Amino acid sequence: MNRTFHRWTAIALACVGASLVAICLPTVVPALHGAVPAAEVSFAVAKQDLEAHWKKSYPTETILEISSGGAGISSEKIINLKKVPYYSVPAKVRVKRADGSVASFSVSVIYKKPAARWIFEDVATGNVQQEKASGQDAPPFAEAEAMITQGWMGKFSQEGDTDIKILKVHPNPSFKAYGQRFWYRYRIDLEYTSGNAHYTCQGQEVDLVKENAGAPWVFKALKNTGVCQGRNLR
Q: What is the DSSP code string of 17-60?
A: TS-----PPPSPPPPTT-EE-SSS--HHHHHHHHHHHHHHH-TT
pLDDT tens readout for residues 29-58: 333 444 554 568 999 999 999 999 999 999
Res 15: pLDDT: 39
pLDDT tens readout for residues 180-217: 899 999 999 999 998 889 999 999 999 999 999 899 99
Res 23: pLDDT: 33
141-232 under CATH 3.30.1360, yes or no: no
142-149 mean pLDDT: 96
The residues near 128 (Cβ < 8 Å, ≥ 6 apart) are 3, 103, 104, 105, 106
Res 19: pLDDT: 35
102-117 mean pLDDT: 93
Residue ranges, comma separated, of all CATH 3.10.450 domains in the chain are 141-232
